[in-house]
Structure formats: C-alpha cells, structure tokens
C-alpha cells in the first residue's frame, strides 16, 4: 500500500536533518499553527533548527494545510495529503517512510490538536534515543481521571500484564521513535496498512511492536498535561475503540510467545521531572454510558449468546440489568473476546459487542471514583492491572482450547 505520494517521494532530497517531527492532521486548522510553531521552537532550541517538520494530512476541508504552511519556521516544512486508507495510521506511516528513506536518526510524532505542547517536549521525546538509552519513547502525561478511558481500562493493563511493560500511556499519540525502530515498522508485512493500523490502531501497534520486536529499551517522557480536543467516551469513542482494541488483540496473538510463559512486569523509566500541574476536569455522562451499555447489549444479545458459554452469559445478563461491570467480570470477558477474536469471521461483530461492555466498565469506574481524587483513581487502575495478571491462566486455558479446536 502506497502511503507517501509518488511525487513527494521523488522530490525528497538527501539531507542531514537531525530530526523529523511528524504531525498527522485532519481538520485541525484551529490548533495546528500553535503546534507547528512550538515544534519549531523545540527544534531551534535542541537541534539548532536543523530539522524537518512534516504534516501528513487526511484531506482537510478547513484549510489545515494552509495554516501549517504559513507558519514561519526555521526548520524546513513539508505538507502533503497521504495515500492509502483514510486514518491517522496512514498519515504516520507516510511520515515514517520519509524518515526511513532519508535515514534520519529520530522522529517525533505529535498530534495536531494539542494545546499544551511545549518546546521541551521535543527534547524529552528524543534524548533517551539520541543518548542510545532507548529505541522508543512514549508520553507520560498527568491526565484527569476520566481522560484516557481506553488506555486505563484496556490498553495499559494488557500492555502491562501480557506484554510485561508498565507503559502508562501506550496510545498517547506523542512518541519519539529511533530510525532503527522505524526501519523495523517499515519492514513489517505491507498488508498491515490495510487494517486498523492505518487508523487509530497505529498507536497501540507501534507500542506493542516496539516491545515485541525487542530491539531495545523503552522510556516514558514526562510531559505534564495533555490538553487536546477531548471526547466523551459514551459519545465519540466507539469506532476508535474497535480500531485500537482490535489491533491490540491481533498483537496479543502475534506476540503470544511473550506472555505464554512466565512474565515479570517491568517498570519503564520516566525521563525528566514530572511537572506539578493540574489537568482540566472532564465530565462524563454516566447515565448516558449506562443506557448505551444496556442498549448495546440488547442489540448484540443473540450474537453474544452464540459466542459465550452460559457462565459468561450470566455476566452479560447482570450487566444488561445494571449498566455497569466490575473488574473481575470485565477481565474474564476481555480474555474470552481476545480468543474469539482470532476467528476472522467474528471480528467485526466481536468489536461491536464489546463496545457496550466497555461503556459499562467506564460507568463502573466513574461511579467508584466520583468523589475521589485522581490519586485514588490511579491506585484503582494499578489494582486492575493486578487482576489482569492474576487471571492470565484463564486466558491460557481459553487459548489452548481454541488451538485444540483448530487441530482436532
């Protein structure tokens, strides 16, 4: 799948940039100017201005690219509309292609809807790589307890419990990547760019590949708060959920050797001091979440009955009543879904059916932490990682059953 337009590829001239910063965008004209200016300040301060800022756009209709191109920068700029499936991943892939071709030692990706980005983010996301301590740097944000619900309820616990690395923001969007890792990404089978990796699956794919390929260490960069266009989980996150979680499940399968044996969960170093900042509060409409959960379960009930045994269906019946689900039940269902997801034909339906359960999980989490501090919420998230870890045998038994079913 071609991601980088041919004319852009042909126009690239070999140049010794010290850094490339990639900015994927789709209708971000209000915020991309600030992001670009700040990135340039970072490149000036930490790389003497010797960098290239690449904007890969999804065909914005609000003038995003014009805003980007009009920003006065010392670093060079390049903007184009990527090819391939529409999505954030195609945008990132097209930028990686440039990094690979020009052999630039490090690339940073930042989202174009960021309002809290600072020039020093560029330093924190690259220094562990340039000092040869890491091949990949993930962002470490201070986030409000209700921001990042896909991260907290599924990505973080699974990356910790199954991939063995406590990466607090595995899908944070702002990453530093070494050339070596970019080359590895680009050498993966071409057809991944025809999957959800081309969309919002790209972040979890990058992180789990970075762990699974074992090319080197991973660091987390302390970045402070992430202020961006936030989304209410009940209203906006459905498609994103399927893309991220579907990709995660595929990676769990691809890298089964990682978690099949005994794994120690490792802490991942945080680079830089964590700024003392307070994230913006975020309201979640719990009633809406619970109603969406109930409604979604009803709609998917027949499918769920076909796939799940009677034990697990009794959990579903409870959730249908309550509109919420506790951690033990959640983990059991996630592990079952992870295995069923391996059957290609069920994939789309599996994800559709998991979304209402995720709403129920978020509703439960919100209720448990409503009057509580962010620290309390964080503690609860840590405890949930342990539940995922403690039930790993259940996943193993589902997994073996599946394999037996296949060979028998």
Q: Applying CB under 6 A, does 139 fall inside the site for ligand GTP?
A: no
In whole angstroms, the minimum distance from the beta carbon of 302 to ligand GTP comes to 32
Among ligand GTP, Mg ion, none, what does residue 86 contact (CB within 5–8 Å per kind)? ligand GTP
Among Mg ion, ligand GTP, none, what does residue 57 contact (CB within 5–8 Å per kind)? ligand GTP
Supply the DSSP symbol for 154: I
Give yes or no for a contact between 81 and 50, defined as CB atoms under 8 angstroms apart. Answer: no
Which CB sits closer to ligand GTP, 73 or 169?
A: 169
- Burial of 27 (C-beta count, 10 Å sphere; 0-12/13-18/19+): middle
Give yes or no for a contact between 75 and 189, defined as CB atoms under 8 angstroms apart. Answer: no
Q: Residue ranges of the alpha helices (H) in 48-199? A: 64-70, 88-102, 120-130, 149-150, 156-161, 179-186
Other beta carbons less than 10 A from residue 236's beta carbon: 12
Q: Applying CB under 5 A, does 228 fall inside the site for Mg ion?
A: yes
Q: Applying CB under 5 A, does 41 fall inside the site for Mg ion?
A: no
The only residue of 113, 147, 196, 364 in contact with ligand GTP, by rule CB under 6 A: 113
Which one of 25-33, 280-288, 313-321, 358-366 is the stretch in contact with ligand GTP (CB under 6 A)? 25-33
Size of the site for Mg ion (CB under 5 A): 2
Other beta carbons less than 10 A from residue 191's beta carbon: 9
Alpha-carbon gap, residue 315 to 62, rounded angstroms: 46
x-marked contacts with ligand GTP along 52-91 as a string, rule CB under 6 A? ----xxx---------------------------xxx--x
Binding positions for ligand GTP, 197-226, rule CB under 6 A: 203
Give yes or no for a contact between 90 and 198, defined as CB atoms under 8 angstroms apart. Answer: yes
The whole-angstrom distance between residue 325's C-alpha and the CA centroid of its chain comes to 23
**Vertex 387: Cα angle to 383 and 389 (nearest 5):** 110
Q: Applying CB under 6 A, does 241 fall inside the site for ligand GTP?
A: no
Give yes or no for a contact between 164 and 255, defined as CB atoms under 8 angstroms apart. Answer: no
Size of the site for ligand GTP (CB under 6 A): 20
Which CB sits closer to ligand GTP, 284 or 319?
A: 284
* Nearest-CB residue for Mg ion: 228
Binding residues for ligand GTP, rule: CB under 6 A, are: 24-26, 28, 56-58, 86-88, 91, 111-113, 171, 173, 203, 228-229, 231
| Residues at the contact surface with Mg ion, assessed by CB under 5 A | 113, 228
């Amino acid at each position: 799948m071609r991601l980088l337009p041919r004319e852009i590829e042909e126009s690239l001239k070999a140049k010794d940039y010290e850094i490339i910063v990639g900015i994927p965008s789709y209708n971000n004209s209000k915020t991309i100017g600030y992001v670009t200016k700040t990135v340039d300040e970072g490149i000036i301060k930490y790389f003497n201005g010797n960098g290239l800022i690449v904007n890969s756009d999804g065909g914005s209709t609000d003038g995003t690219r014009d805003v980007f191109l009009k920003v006065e920068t010392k670093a060079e700029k390049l903007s184009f509309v990527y090819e391939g499936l529409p999505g954030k991943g195609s945008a990132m892939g097209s930028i990686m292609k440039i990094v690979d071709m020009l052999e630039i030692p490090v690339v940073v990706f930042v989202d174009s809807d960021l309002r809290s980005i600072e020039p020093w983010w560029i330093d924190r996301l690259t220094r562990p790589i340039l000092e040869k301590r890491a091949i990949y740097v993930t962002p470490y944000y201070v986030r409000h307890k209700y921001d990042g619900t896909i991260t907290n309820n599924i990505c973080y616990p699974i990356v910790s419990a199954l991939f063995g690395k406590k990466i607090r923001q595995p899908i944070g969007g702002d990453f530093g990547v070494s050339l070596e890792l970019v080359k590895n990404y680009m050498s993966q089978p071409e057809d991944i760019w025809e999957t959800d990796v081309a969309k919002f699956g790209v972040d979890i794919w990058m992180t789990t590949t970075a762990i699974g390929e074992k090319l080197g260490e991973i660091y987390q960069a302390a970045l402070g708060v992430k202020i961006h266009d936030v989304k209410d989980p009940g209203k906006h996150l459905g498609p994103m959920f399927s893309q991220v979680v579907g990709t995660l499940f595929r990676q769990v399968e691809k890298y089964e050797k990682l978690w099949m044996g005994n794994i120690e969960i490792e802490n991942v170093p945080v680079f830089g001091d964590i700024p003392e900042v307070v994230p913006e509060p975020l309201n979640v409409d719990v009633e809406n979440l619970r109603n969406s959960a109930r409604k979604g379960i009803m709609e998917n009930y027949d499918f769920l009955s076909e796939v799940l045994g009677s034990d697990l269906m009794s959990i579903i019946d409870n959730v249908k009543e309550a509109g919420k689900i506790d951690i033990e039940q959640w983990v059991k269902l996630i592990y079952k879904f992870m295995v069923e997801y391996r059957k290609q034909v069920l994939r789309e339906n599996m994800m559709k059916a998991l979304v209402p359960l995720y709403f129920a999980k978020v509703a439960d989490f919100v209720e448990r932490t409503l009057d509580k501090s962010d620290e309390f919420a964080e503690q609860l998230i840590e405890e949930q990682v342990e539940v995922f870890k403690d039930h790993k045998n259940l996943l193993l038994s589902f997994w073996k059953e599946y394999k037996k079913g296949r060979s028998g």
